[in-house]
Structure 1
Amino acid sequence: MVRVGAHTSIAGGAFNAVDEQVEYGGNCGQIFSHSPQVWQDPNIEDEEAAKFRELSEDNGVGPWVIHSSYLVNLCTPKDDLREKSLDSMQKEVDAADKLGIEYVNVHLGAHTGAGVDGGLDNAASVLDELDVPDGVTVLIESDAGSGTKLGGQFEHLATVRERTSLDIEFCLDTAHMFAAGYDLSTPEGVAETFAEFDDVVGFEDLACIHLNDSKHACGTNKDEHAHIGEGEIGEAGMRAFVNHDAVADVPFVLETPTEDGKSFAWNIERVRELRED
């Protein structure tokens, strides 16, 4: 059975994300533990966490991912931002442990002048300082690669894994990969991209996929998501991607728009239609 779900809201309590997921027809998912636009503690209450765990188990929803704050920048050369990023990530992995969530997902961030090598060193050193609870894994997400942001090349992911002592895994975002120049719009392009990822990183450390179509062309570095099969990646590319043997058991988490009368439920059903189980 394909694992596919969406990013859902914890408004009113983390457990509400489970009910929302079930409403969409999803069986895995992603949340923010707090507003991603500010530095803020998750503040998950014990009863709230217990109810989240119970509802997830009762409804067969999992795995779950916590997406870190947008303010976190692992690659930064600035000491104050580094400390804030480290503190925020520590609180995220602790919140994940409390909620029984397997993964915390984070972007590498931007080196802002430190250079690619310096930025990757910075990211690895922040990861080294995290005290990650047993049962929680930090995922580094692939990026669209605009400006000085790192993670747009598979080599960036592999290098951080080499340089950190933390056991990390990865989340590939289809819209980000496409924007960064990996052409997923044809079966041939999908096969070539997967072969390159396998060669550079390896599928044994791929834990999650953010499945999103792209509103912009390949290689534009523009990160704007479209409905599944209706963007520049298109139906043929998405069909080839979700049916590739390498991702047969990898959960798909959608961050698609909610526009044009098409909800997360529509996109989840679309994935199931494209998947040739």
Structure 2
Amino acid sequence: MLKVGAHTSIAGGVYNAVEDQVEYGGNCGQIFSHSPQVWQDPSISEDDAERFIELSEEHDIGPWVIHTSYLVNLCTPKDGLRQKSLDSMQTEVDVADLLDIPYVNVHLGAHTGAGVEGGLENAASVLDDIDVPEGVQILIESDAGSGTKLGGQFEHLATVMDETSQEIGFCIDTAHAWAAGYDISTEEGVADTFAEFDEVVGLENLKYVHLNDSKHGCGTNKDEHAHIGEGEIGVEGMRAFINRSVEEGVPMALETPTEDGKSFAWNIERVRELCEAE
């Protein structure tokens, strides 16, 4: 079954994300629990949470995933930033538990001089210190790999999985994987990428996909999203990735732009057109 939705605003109440998702034509999706640009605690009441859960069940929308703040840096060597990142992560998994959301998605962040090995060790250490509620799983998202950011290589993901005591999962962002050098513009390239992920990380650990086309070339480390099939990855690559994700039973959340008169609804319909299972 095709599971596709969009990153959806919680403005006016977290439950509004469900109604927006219905309007987009999605049946799963992603939210921020608060503004991702600042250190901030979510303000979600138990009543709002209950309404979110009830509406999600009523419209058969899920699984949802919470995307953490952009300020979180698991790889940092700085004690102050590490503590802020840990506190933020603890809050996010607790909110996920409140909302009955199974996944919290996070970037590894940048090692900023600690080196690749040191940065990955730092990330595993932060993950170890999070008290993750039963029924919630942390997902590490693949990265575009610019600067000292880690997660662009599948080996980075596997190293963190091996070093942490947490039972983490993973989210592949198609635009990030493309920017990091994985050529997913053809059916063969998608097959090779899934095979490499399976060998290095294990497909059983792939829990979500961020489905985005890219405005930049493969291996450029530039992260700028495009409408499905209209970027550098293109129709063939998007079609192949969508259908392989459906085959593997992995839900997909869109983070596509709203421009050129094309919205999340347009992109979700585009995904349905490219999905052979529809």
TM-score interval, normalised by the smaller of the two chains:
over 0.9
1:70-110 CA-to-partner distances (Å, cap 9, x unmatched) read: 00000000000000000000000000000111100000000
SS at match of 1:110: coil
Is 1:166 aligned to 2:149, yes or no? no
Q: Distance in 2 between matches of 1:161 and 1:50?
A: 33
Q: Which residue type is aligned with residue 261 of structure 1? A: G
After TM superposition, where is structure 1 displaced by more than 4 Å over at least 4 residues in a row?
none
Q: Which residue type is aligned with residue 114 of structure 2? A: A
SS at match of 2:69: coil
The answer to whether the 8 Å contact 2:68/2:104 transfers is yes
Q: Distance in 1 between matches of 2:183 and 2:164?
A: 29
In structure 1, what is the equivalent of residue 103 of structure 2? 103
Q: Distance in 2 between matches of 1:17 and 1:184?
A: 31
Q: Which residue type is aligned with residue 236 of structure 2? A: A
Q: Distance in 2 between matches of 1:132 and 1:227?
A: 35
In structure 1, what is the equivalent of residue 20 of structure 2? 20
In structure 2, what is the equivalent of residue 92 of structure 1? 92
In structure 2, what is the equivalent of residue 222 of structure 1? 222
Give the gaps of 5 or more residues in structure 2. none
Summarize the alignment of residues 1-277 of structure 1 with structure 2, pairs less than 5 Å apart: 1-244=1-244, 247-277=247-277
Task: State the 1:43 CA deviation.
Answer: 2.0
Q: Distance in 1 between matches of 2:247 and 2:176?
A: 17
Please, what is the CA RMSD of the aligned residues?
A: 0.8
Identity %: 77
Q: Distance in 1 between matches of 2:100 and 2:191?
A: 35
Q: Which residue type is aligned with residue 262 of structure 2? A: K
The answer to whether the 8 Å contact 1:212/1:254 transfers is yes
Task: State the 1:248 CA deviation.
Answer: 3.5
Task: State the 1:164 CA deviation.
Answer: 0.2
Q: Distance in 2 between matches of 1:25 and 1:246?
A: 17
The answer to whether the 8 Å contact 1:2/1:248 transfers is no
Q: Which residue type is aligned with residue 227 of structure 1? A: H
The answer to whether the 8 Å contact 2:5/2:25 transfers is yes
Give the structure-1-normalised TM-score.
0.99
Q: Distance in 1 between matches of 2:217 and 2:247?
A: 24
